[in-house]
Amino acid sequence: MRVVSILAIGVFLVLADIAGAQTSNTKSQDITISIPEVALLDLESSTTSSAIRLNAVAPNEAGNSLDFSSASSNDIWLNYSSIVGSSQPSRKVCAFIEGSVPDGVIVSVTASSYSGNGKGRNGAPIGNVILSNNMQDIITNIGSCYTGNGPNNGHKLTYSLELDRSNDSYGKLKFDQSANISVTYILSDNN
């Protein structure tokens, strides 16, 4: 019995020493949380080539005009990732062309509504926009979100070549007046 008492006293002293070393029954830990700003944009092709060709079709019968109805392409998807700040709570995608469109025709782009595997507040497309050398909104009201990567994620872009319906544009068409233009897209804060 004496051995048990000595062991009990020893255990009590060890526990008392541990309890005395504690100054409180709670502790706190500081954690710093950081969310980075993100503004990334990409164009993805649903085919093996990202080159776009817009061609009017010559008539088969004298007296008929060029046919622009099939001068379109919808193989490109616009993907983006965005984390906005509290002072700039939304972003937009703008587009402009570098180069000159041949006289008598216009090139337009239409962004579809968002579809895909992303999450967050994806943007709203403007509709059909005639491209020019001036920057124009294509998609607005983008918040913190991601579209998903690759084809079938984000906004499908449809490019169209059309006859410019102003001021006798058909008379301005020239068969040797082809052009290579570049369309640039920018993801930026709404200002």
Compute the distance between CA of residue 52 and CA of residue 75 in angstroms, rounded to an integer: 8
Task: Please write the tens of the pLDDT for every residue from 56-90.
Answer: 999 999 999 999 999 999 999 999 999 999 998 99
Residue 154 lies in a domain: yes
13 within a domain of the structure (yes/no): no
Q: Identify the pLDDT of residue 17.
A: 56
Domain contains 116: yes
Q: Is residue 153 part of a domain?
A: yes
Structural domains of the chain, count: 1
134-145 pLDDT per residue, tens: 999 999 999 999
What local confidence, expressed as pLDDT, does residue 4 receive?
Answer: 46
Range(s) of the domain holding residue 121: 38-46+66-189
Element spanning 119, H or E: strand 119-120
Measure the CA–CA gap between 103 and 164, rounded to whole angstroms. Answer: 8
In a domain, 156, yes or no: yes
